[in-house]
């Protein structure tokens, strides 16, 4: 997504939007421990199933997590490649090493 000269702003905005909610961040934090069943994610967030499902959908659509149905439950895990993409987007927004505060006009 990010290069030294170009950042896909639309993609970065979708990723940052997905990261902009405390419940979604809590879900990602829980998934750092490894693959989790949606029922366990419900417990870790202390939220209703419908609320957890909504937030998981946002994270899935942004590509931050992956899921697979196993019986009647879905198990989720982090997509580390997309997390690296987020890191790249943040780096692309940092001031350049040769940044100067003077005005160009």
Write the pLDDT tens digit of every residue in 45-99.
888 989 999 999 999 999 999 999 999 889 999 999 999 999 988 988 888 776 6
Q: Report how far residue 36's alpha carbon sits from residue 24's, in angstroms, rounded to the nearest whole number.
A: 14
Is domain 9-92 annotated with CATH 1.20.1110.10?
no
**What pLDDT sits at residue 2?**
46
Q: Can you give the pTM of this predicted structure?
A: 0.81
The contacts of residue 38 (CB under 8 Å, 6+ apart) are 49, 52, 53, 56, 73, 74, 75, 76
- For 92, the token pair is 């692309």
């Amino acid at each position: 997504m990010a290069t030294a000269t170009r950042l896909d702003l639309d993609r970065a905005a979708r990723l940052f939007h997905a990261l902009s909610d405390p419940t979604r961040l809590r879900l990602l934090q829980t998934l750092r421990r490894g693959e989790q069943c949606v029922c366990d994610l419900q417990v870790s967030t202390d939220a209703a199933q419908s609320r957890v499902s909504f937030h998981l959908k946002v994270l899935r659509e942004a590509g931050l997590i992956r899921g697979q149905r196993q019986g009647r439950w879905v198990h989720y895990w982090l997509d580390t490649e997309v997390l690296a993409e987020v890191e790249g987007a943040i780096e692309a927004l940092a001031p350049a090493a040769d940044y100067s505060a003077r005005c160009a006009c």
